[in-house]
Structure formats: structure tokens, C-alpha cells
Amino acid sequence: MAQRFVPRAASSRPSREVDVDLRRFRNDVRDAAGFEACRAIAAKKRGNSQMTDVHMRRAIELACESVTQGGGPFGAVVFLDGRVLGEGKNRVVPDGDPTAHAEINAIRNACRAEGSHSLQGAVIYTIGEPCPMCLGAIWWARISRIVFANSRDAAADIGFDDAALYREVSAPLENRKIKIEKSDEVGAKDVFEAWTRKADKVPY
């Protein structure tokens, strides 16, 4: 089991410096023998002054752990008000759940810890640029900032073609690869109208 850490405030260093640190880290990982070595490097470098973004290092470590446990190479951390609210690994294959992305799991754990559906003001650190599904969850959770390391193009290079999903959601309905049809069932509108009349509803 990975050694735990005491959360601290996120770094205020310029993003360019952090990017340089992450590139150095990735070079070390590339030279390491397997993901267990990757995880060990991440744990060791938490205290390295050349990498001050402790939460991104933790996300990378979670991603390495995920791979050793049969998941994809993704990890995420949700940070708010000086503390880590939730962490997540990719559990798509181990759990048989295509929605079990690292960001989704981190948000679920953070919301449970906070006792709320809203994570207003939080920062999510994730090893990869969020896919459209995860971006939607981040949006609905009202997370205020996203910090990611690998781009959607980098994910596509290793077989996770999030770029194709971004293109799909921006295409007109008639041009989508998955056929989408609109039903004219009037009962569906009744549900929405009932919601507008519900006096004790909680907007989100």
C-alpha cells in the first residue's frame, strides 16, 4: 500500500516551471522498470524540491497503482481548503464499469467526504486531460480549476482516443456516429413541469 501524505496548499509556481518538473518526472518514469518502479519514484519525489506540485505527484502515483491493479494509467486528486477531499484511480476493467474513470471516482469520494454534491472552489489534479464524461462531472460538481499533465492527444497515442469523443459531442446530432432519436412522448415533459412546481427542490 502506498505511503500516505499530509496535504498542503497547492504550489503557486508558474505553470511553465511545473511543466518542466513534470517532464523531468516523466523521463525518470520512462527509464524505470515497470509501474511498481513508477509508483516508488512518485512516492520518493514527493519531497523533492524540483517538484513542488505534491497533488499532481500523488495523481501520478495513483495512476501507477491503477495499472498494477488492472486499471488504466490514470489517477486524480480533489483538493479544497487545504485538504485532500478525494482520490481516484481508473477502475474501468477491474470493476466492469465504463464510467469508473479516475476523475469520476475522485469526485464521488470527495462528495461523500464533503457530504455535498457541490465541490465549489475545489481543484482537481489529474494525470490526463479529462474526457468529455469527466469534464461533465467536473462541471456538475462545480469544481473551479483543473490541472492536468498529459493532453488528449497523448492519451490518443496510447489508445485512449478522447479526441474522437470531443469531436463527437461537438458534431450536429444528425452527424453523430451513435444514432440519436428524439421521442415525442408527452409524459416526459410532464416530469419536467412537475419538477418546476416542486417547492423543496435543491437546484444543482
Please tell me the distance from the alpha carbon of residue 204 to that of residue 198, in angstroms, as a whole number: 14
Residue pair 147/130 in contact by the 8 Å Cβ criterion: no
C-alpha cell at 7: 496535504
Judge whether 87 counts as a catalytic residue.
no
Residue pair 144/121 in contact by the 8 Å Cβ criterion: yes
Angle between helices 102-114 and 54-68 (to 10 degrees): 120
Catalytic residue among 61, 87, 103, 114: 103
C-alpha cell at 120: 465549489
> What are the residues facing 87 on neighbouring strands?
77
- Catalytically annotated residues: 103
